[in-house]
Amino acid sequence: MPVNSRAKGAAFERQIANLFIKDLNLSNPVKRILEQTRTKELPDLMLGNWCIECKAYGSGAEPRPDWWDQVIASSRQNHLKPALVYKFNNRPIKVRVLACSINPKIKNNLVTVDLLWPDFIQIILELFQADIELHEKTYTA
DSSP state letter for 107? -
Inter-CA distances, 105 with 63, 76, 81, 119, Å: 26, 20, 15, 20
Q: Under CATH, which architecture does the 5-138 domain have?
A: 3-Layer(aba) Sandwich (3.40)
Beta bridge partners of 46: 51
What does the pLDDT look like over 64-84, one tens digit per residue? Answer: 999 999 999 989 887 899 999
Give the strand order in the sheet containing 45-47: 45-47, 50-57, 81-88, 94-98, 112-116
pLDDT-derived band at 88, boundaries 50, 70, 90 = very high
What does the pLDDT look like over 4-45, one tens digit per residue? Answer: 777 777 899 999 999 999 999 999 999 877 555 445 567 899
Extents of the domains making up the chain: 5-138
